[in-house]
Amino acid sequence: MSAGVLSERANLPDINFFEVTPVQHAVKGRDKPRGGRYQYADRRSGENDMLKMWGRNTSSNVQKAMWAVGELKIPCERIDVGGAFGKTKDPFYLAMNPNSLVPTLEEDDGFTMWESNSIVRYLAGKHGGTLEPKDPKARAKASQWMDWQLSVIGPAITPVFWGLIRTPAEKRDANAIAAGKEKTTAAAKIMDEQLAKTRFMAGDDFSYGDIPVGVMIRRYMELVPERPKLANLERWFGEIAQRAPFKEHCGGIPLT
C-alpha cells in the first residue's frame, strides 16, 4: 500500500470510523508468498472477516477486484502471485484457481472464486452499498458494460499493452499495435456515446459498471495519446480517476 492512501482519506466517501492500516507480513502456514494487508475496518458492515485477494497489483484484472474492495472498504489482504512472483502453478494455488491466473478471491471460511468481474459483482452484492445498482435495469446495464469489457474493449487493448509495455522495441509488431489502437478507439467511441447520455456507464451514479472499463480506459489514455478528442469519455474518466480506490489500486500503479 502506498503512503498516499492515508493522505487521500479526506477524499473518501463519507464513512465514519474508517481506518486504513497497511501491514507487510508473512503469511503463516503453507509456503505462501508475501503481500500487503489492506485493513479497511468499516464498522458499518459488521464484517470482521479478512478476505484474501491473490494476485500482483500490476494485473488489470487484480486492479478491478481491488478497486471494488477499496470502494466497499472490505478488510482485505492482497498477496503477490502471478507474473514474476510465480506461484500460480503451485498445487495450493491450482486448487483455488485451475486457470493458473490472477486474481483469486479467498474468504476465511474457505470459499474461493476467480474471474475478476464475477468477483466484483459478488463482493458488491454481498457487502451492500451503491456499487451494485438497486434498480434492476441499471444493474443490468452495469453488468452489460462489464461483459463488454471482457468481450470487446479488453481484447482490443491487449495487443497495444503487450506490444508497447511488455515487448522490447525491436520485437514489436507494429501492425498488431496499430490494429489494436484502432479497435480500442472504436470501442472508446461507443463509451463516449453512452457517456453523452449518462454521467456514468450505467446511469447517473457510479457503479461496478464503471470499474472494468475504467481500468481499460486508464490504459487507453496512457497508451494511445494520439486518440481523437472524446469529450464525454474524458469528462467521465477525469471524474472516476479522482476516486481514492482508483488511485490506490489502478491509476497510481505504473504500467509494467
Contacting positions for ligand GSH (CB under 6 A): 59-61, 82-83, 88, 101-103, 114-117
Task: Answer for the pair 114, 101: CB distance below 8 angstroms, yes or no.
Answer: yes
Whichever of 82 and 180 has its CB closer to ligand GSH, that residue is 82
Comparing CB distances to ligand GSH, the nearer of 117 and 207 is: 117
Between residues 116 and 143, which has the closer beta carbon with respect to ligand GSH?
116
Q: How far is the CB of 103 from ligand GSH (least distance, A)?
A: 6
Task: Map residue 7 onto helix, strand or coil.
Answer: helix
Task: Look at residues 156, 152, 130, 155 and name the one whose alpha carbon lies nearest to residue 209.
Answer: 130
Query: Which residue of this chain has its Cβ atom nearest to ligand GSH in the complex?
Result: 82
Type and span of the H or E element at 35: strand 35-38
CB of residue 181 vs ligand GSH: minimum separation in angstroms? 20
Residue (102 or 138) nearer to ligand GSH, CB: 102
Instruction: Provide the minimum distance between the beta carbon of 57 and ligand GSH in the complex, in angstroms, as a whole number.
Output: 11
Residues in CB range of 23: below 8 A, 6 or more apart: 36, 37, 39
Strand order from edge to edge, sheet including 35-38: 22-25, 35-38, 76-79, 51-54, 104-106, 112-114
**Measured distance CA(216)–CA(46) in Å, rounded:** 33
Q: From the CB of 104, what's the least distance to ligand GSH, in Å? A: 9
State the nearest-atom distance from the C-beta of 51 to ligand GSH, in Å. Answer: 16
Residue number, 8 or 248, with CB nearest to ligand GSH: 248
| Minimum distance of ligand GSH from residue 65's CB (angstroms) | 8
Of 20 and 117, CB closest to ligand GSH: 117
**Minimum distance between the CB of residue 248 and ligand GSH, rounded to whole angstroms?**
18
DSSP string, 56-123: -TT-HHHHHHHHHHHHHT--EEEE--SGGG--TTSHHHHHH-TT--S-EEE-TTS-EEE-HHHHHHHH
Indicate the residue among 223 and 230 with the shorter CB distance to ligand GSH.
Answer: 223
* Cell numbers describing residue 157: 487493448
Helices of type H across the chain: 4-7, 60-72, 91-96, 116-127, 136-148, 154-165, 174-195, 211-223, 231-240, 244-246
